[in-house]
């Protein structure tokens, strides 16, 4: 990383201007800054650093991993068809005992969030990534040519600016793109309704063998219905019509049983109200389980997630927009950054029309996401990875899951590193009409 005090005169003048206009010290000058350390962000940072780019990862929470860790998600979707970093993470988790096993002894993609935290930190350290936790993006600076030059953060260290050649928005919510002035879409096109948020909970005190029929991947073909029926006997109807119990390991279980409808995930007041409402409901559900008697009488709520799980926020406008047509036609591209196979998983946006999920008539074929969907259209030097890439409401419901986020992040990180090292913009790295995307470029 470059010390701002050792810059040539023209660069020092730019830093001085930044300090005067935004009242922030330039903390660091580097090649690639990744904003958001969730599945897409850590993959992008690992990829960029492994390509030899000086890479900084900025994360608002106290750990990297995003919804995997701060969100206690406990399940990785659309990952079995992935190579690269996703496969590496799964294999490392299995080696350290961080992956679950089904009742039949088969491997599952249920994982231990604490082991995930430590594993990702080790991988980042080995790659030489500069991690800054507890640091939130609050604004962005562009030059007169609409080139993104700095992101501005606030933390215990005060207000700081971070300068890089290429920036990656992996915040999930599109925070950096919005701060940089990019246009975006959010929710259904007709009314703006978004998929509901859910707060995960971790439970213990349950005998694994006795509750397997209630667990996803357990001994029964309809565990969600059985769990819902059990709660109904205690007079409780969860806001999520398909309550899900996951056996993580030992006596550790994860529970997703709530839908927070009508809240805006990019408003702090709404996030607060949704979180408080969800935590109240989770406690009521756990109390109802305990009243059910054996084998639930000793169930204990260990924790609720540090951050409520957000399914949908901003989708930043890119140079290509992934659409429902991409999914149903199984479109392929010359420069794919991800091959997605997950179905169109639309959680009900209106509790009056159902409280579960469905595909809304979309039959998905395996499809590719092109690089252009991850390059911002309104600002140069900005890429996206994860659920904030450019796409429509239906397409987003498929590509938003974390197995896809990792593959996107890995390939976006490679392009960002190549662009930074060759002093080009991301859209200049792959020439128009190119027949392939060389993800091994260095």
Cis peptide before 46 (omega within 30 of 0): no
State the pTM of this model.
Answer: 0.92
Q: What is the pLDDT of residues 59-102, one digit of tens each?
A: 999 999 999 999 999 999 999 999 999 999 999 999 999 998 66
Residues 131 and 248 in one domain: no
pLDDT of 41 strictly over 50: yes
Residue 437 lies in a domain: no
Which of residues 254, 276, 304 is at a domain's end? 304
**What number is the average pLDDT over the span 247-276?**
97
Residues 52 and 82 in one domain: yes
Residues 292 and 331 in one domain: no
Residues 368 and 318 in one domain: yes
Q: What is the pLDDT of residues 157-183, one digit of tens each?
A: 999 999 999 999 999 999 999 999 999
**9-23, 299-313, 385-399, 414-428: lowest mean pLDDT where?**
9-23
Residue 434 lies in a domain: no
CA distance 431 to 208: 55
- % pLDDT > 70, the chain: 90
**What number is the average pLDDT over the span 144-159?**
97
Q: What is the pLDDT of residues 110-146, one digit of tens each?
A: 999 999 999 999 999 999 999 999 999 999 999 999 9
Residues 154 and 265 in one domain: no
Tally of domains within the chain: 2
Residue 441 lies in a domain: no
Q: How many other CB atoms sit within 10 Å of the CB of residue 172?
A: 26
Which of residues 266, 283, 304 is at a domain's end? 304
Q: What is the pLDDT of residues 224-250, one digit of tens each?
A: 999 999 999 999 999 999 999 999 999
Residues 133 and 8 in one domain: yes
Q: What is the pLDDT of residues 189-212, one digit of tens each?
A: 999 999 999 999 999 999 999 999
Q: What is the pLDDT of residue 219?
A: 87
**What number is the average pLDDT over the span 405-410?**
98
Q: What is the pLDDT of residue 108?
A: 82
CA distance 108 to 216: 10
Residues 38 and 182 in one domain: yes
Residue 194 lies in a domain: no
Q: What is the pLDDT of residue 39?
A: 99
Q: Which domain covers residue 224, as residue numbers?
A: 201-304
Q: What is the pLDDT of residue 28?
A: 92
Sign of the C-alpha dihedral computed for residues 231, 401, 386 and 121 taken in this order? positive
pLDDT of 439 strictly over 50: no
pLDDT of 330 strictly over 50: yes
Q: What is the pLDDT of residues 9-37, one digit of tens each?
A: 555 555 656 565 667 789 999 999 999 99
Answer for the pair 108, 432: CB distance below 8 angstroms, yes or no. Answer: no
Three-class secondary structure of residue 249 per DSSP: strand
> What is the DSSP pairing of strand 148-155 with strand 136-142?
antiparallel
Residues 323 and 180 in one domain: yes
pLDDT of 259 strictly over 60: yes
Q: In sequence order, what are the residues at sequence separation of 6 or more whose Cβ sits closer than 8 angstroms to the Cβ of residue 74? A: 110, 111, 113, 200, 246, 248, 254
Q: What is the pLDDT of residue 9?
A: 58
Answer for the pair 43, 277: CB distance below 8 angstroms, yes or no. Answer: no
Q: What is the pLDDT of residue 431?
A: 42
Residues 60 and 115 in one domain: yes
At 441, is the pLDDT very low, low, confident or very high (cuts 50, 70, 90)? very low
Residue 442 lies in a domain: no
The tokens for 195 are 């998929």
Residues 82 and 151 in one domain: yes
The CATH number of residue 320's host domain is 3.50.50.60
Q: What is the pLDDT of residue 166?
A: 99
Residues 246 and 119 in one domain: no
Residues 28 and 175 in one domain: yes
CA distance 196 to 259: 5
Q: What is the pLDDT of residue 154?
A: 98
pLDDT of 290 strictly over 60: yes
**What number is the average pLDDT over the span 416-426?**
97
More confident residue, 405 or 433: 405
Q: In sequence order, what are the residues at sequence separation of 6 or more whose Cβ sits closer than 8 angstroms to the Cβ of residue 327? A: 344, 362, 364, 365, 367, 394, 395, 398
CA distance 10 to 197: 47
Top mean pLDDT of 101-115, 207-221, 318-332, 419-433 is at 318-332
CA distance 109 to 101: 8
**What number is the average pLDDT over the span 317-346?**
98
Helix, strand, coil proportions of the chain in percent (round to 5)? Answer: 35, 25, 40
pLDDT of 43 strictly over 60: yes
Which of residues 288, 304, 320 is at a domain's end? 304
């Amino acid at each position: 990383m470059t010390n701002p005090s050792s810059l040539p005169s023209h660069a020092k003048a730019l830093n001085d201007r930044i300090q005067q206009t935004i009242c922030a010290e330039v903390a660091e000058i580097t090649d690639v800054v990744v904003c958001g350390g969730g599945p897409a962000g850590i993959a992008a940072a690992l990829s960029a650093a492994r390509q030899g780019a000086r890479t900084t990862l900025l994360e608002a929470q106290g750990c990297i991993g995003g919804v995997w860790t701060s969100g206690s998600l406990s399940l990785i979707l659309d990952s079995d068809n992935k190579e690269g970093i996703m496969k590496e993470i799964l294999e490392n988790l299995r080696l350290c005992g961080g992956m679950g096993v089904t009742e039949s002894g088969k491997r599952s993609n249920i994982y231990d969030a604490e082991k995930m935290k430590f594993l990702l930190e080790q991988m980042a350290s080995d790659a030489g990534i500069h991690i800054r936790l507890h640091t939130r993006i609050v604004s962005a600076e562009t030059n007169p040519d609409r080139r993104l030059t700095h992101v501005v953060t606030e933390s215990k260290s005060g207000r700081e600016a971070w300068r890089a050649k290429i920036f990656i928005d992996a915040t999930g919510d599109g925070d950096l793109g919005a701060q940089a002035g990019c246009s975006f879409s959010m929710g259904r096109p007709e009314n703006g309704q978004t998929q509901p948020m859910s707060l995960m909970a971790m439970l213990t005190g349950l005998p694994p063998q006795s509750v397997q029929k209630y667990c996803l991947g357990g001994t029964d073909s309809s565990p969600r219905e059985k769990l819902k029926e059990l709660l109904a006997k205690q007079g409780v109807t969860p806001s999520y019509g398909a309550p899900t119990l996951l056996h993580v390991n030992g006596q550790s279980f994860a529970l997703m049983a709530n839908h927070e409808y009508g809240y805006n995930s990019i408003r702090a007041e709404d996030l607060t109200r949704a979180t408080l409402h969800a935590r109240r409901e989770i406690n009521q559900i756990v109390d109802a389980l305990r009243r059910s008697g054996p084998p639930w009488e000793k169930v204990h709520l260990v924790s609720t997630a540090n951050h409520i799980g957000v399914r949908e926020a901003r989708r930043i406008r890119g140079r290509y927009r992934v659409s429902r047509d991409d999914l149903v036609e199984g479109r392929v591209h010359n420069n794919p950054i991800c091959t997605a196979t997950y179905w169109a998983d639309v959680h009900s946006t209106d509790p009056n029309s159902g409280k579960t999920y469905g595909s809304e008539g979309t039959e998905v074929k395996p499809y590719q996401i092109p690089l252009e969907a991850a390059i911002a259209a309104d600002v140069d030097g900005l890429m996206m990875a994860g659920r904030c890439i450019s796409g429509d409401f239906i397409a987003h419901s498929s590509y938003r899951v974390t197995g896809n986020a990792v593959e996107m992040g890995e390939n976006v990180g490679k392009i960002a590193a190549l662009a930074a090292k060759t002093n080009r913009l991301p859209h200049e790295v792959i020439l128009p009409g190119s027949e392939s995307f060389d993800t091994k470029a260095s």
